[in-house]
Structure 1
Amino acid sequence: MNFRLISSVTRLHVSSLLPRNFMTNSSPLFFKTTECMFAEPLKKKKRLDPAIIKHREERKRKKLEKQIRRLERNARQLKPIDELEVPLKLIDQKEQRTRVLPPLSDSELEERVLLEKEWCRYKLSQRLKDLQIIDRLLFSQQKALSELRRESEELYQAAIQIDPSLIPFKAKGPVRTPPIKGYDSPDGEYVDVSKKWE
């Protein structure tokens, strides 16, 4: 009887001291503890004066309004590009420089349309011929490789290897416009001298 009373009292006493990390058991040890739980009390929030909060919000709002006004004021201003500015001399000479071309006749317009259609047909047939040649070459290549594979696997594996001498490939062919004699192409260092607008 006394043992029960003592055990209940000690349980109450211990549980009131450490309720989170203490427990009893019927094993020979009787008491077991869990790891300590280190917790901090919550920090108290500083109470600010409502007038200070209102003043801060008012300042933020005014700053945003000022930025919006500045953007609206500069919205229609485009950045000037020196290369695209037309000199005033050319603007004054506009009437002298404009050409007055006679209107094209119906027969001339029809001839131009027919010529353009004929050119389109010619380019289409040229493209189709090129595709047929490429298809024929690929088919003959595949046929030759399959025949070679039937003869010897080693020769086939050697044939499908990439030739390192073909890697720096350079080709010069016909271009749409002929080259200009004595033209110095603008390669080399590039110095950016454009103005920065921020």
Structure 2
Amino acid sequence: MFSLSILKQFSRLSLSTPKAIAINRNIFTAPALQFKVTEQLCAEPLKKKKKMDPAIIKAREDRRRKKLEKQIRRLEKNARQLKPIEELEIPLNVVDEIGKRKRPEVKLSEQEVEARALLQKEWSRYKRAEYMANVAQIDRIMAAQKRALDMLYEESEDLYNEAVMPDLKLIPYSIKGPVATPPIKNYDSPDGEYIDVSKKWIN
């Protein structure tokens, strides 16, 4: 019985002819890959964290926040503060006499208000008429100039080119006329040197 069972198992095997074995003859010129070991990196042992009281941490954060809020308030307070100018400061004696120096408000009557309004309208009409007259005069001058140049061009082109050419002698134009204030006799003009006594403010 034992021999028959073994024969049945071997009977399932099939014999086949051996196939041709393919020979890989590829040539590699790259260096051979080898196993390498990296260097040992010794790490520092972790430091043990100190346990702090949550109340202390909260107190530190509160102090830091209050300090920042104080700095912000200080910046907002001084943001619109301008540097003082001594020339523009009002003397104290003038400040005390503001009530005496202040003029009472003048109340105008209806007739005066109406007369001033009519005068303002009349002045506006006068200035408009003056402006329109000036514009019309400039237009007439420019039209006459254009007609003269056209007639000159018909006569001679060379004369026309000379006429339209700008006069370079008039470009560095200088004029001396009346000044705002009359000259002062025997006035000793300073030589230009001065001492700067203005205060310097550091931000």
Normalised by the length of structure 1, the TM-score is 0.58
User: Residue 69 and residue 99 in structure 1: after superposition, are their counterparts in 2 closer, same or farther (change >3 A)?
Assistant: closer
Deviation for aligned residue 1:85? 1.1
Structure 2: 5+ residue stretches without partners: 1-23, 35-46, 50-60
Alignment root-mean-square deviation, CA: 3.7
- Percent of aligned positions that are identical: 44
1:86-101 aligned within 5 A: 86-101=90-105
Question: Could you tell me how far 1:69 is from its partner in structure 2?
Answer: 4.4
Q: Deviations over 1:49-100 (max 9, x none)?
A: 9x9xxxxxx9xx88x9375344134234332122221111001111221222
Counterpart for residue 135 of structure 2 = 131
- The alpha-carbon deviation at position 172 of structure 1 amounts to 7.3
1:181 aligns with 2:185: no
Letter in 2 for 1:9: I
Over 3 Å counting, the alpha-carbon distance change for 1:160 and 1:67 in structure 2 is farther
1:75 to 67, 76, 79: 79
Other-structure match for 2:17: none
Matched residue, 2:107: 103
TM-score, normalised by the number of residues in structure 2: 0.57
Residue number among 3, 6, 27 corresponding to 1:9 in the alignment: 27
5+ residue gaps in structure 1? 18-48, 52-57
Decide whether aligned partners of structure 1 residues 10 and 127 sit closer, same or farther in structure 2, where only a CA change above 3 A counts.
same
In the alignment, structure 1 residue 140 sits paired with structure 2 residue 144: yes
1:143-167 per-residue CA deviation (whole Å, 9 max, x = no partner) reads 1111111111111111111112221
Higher relative contact order (CA 8 A, sep 6+): 2
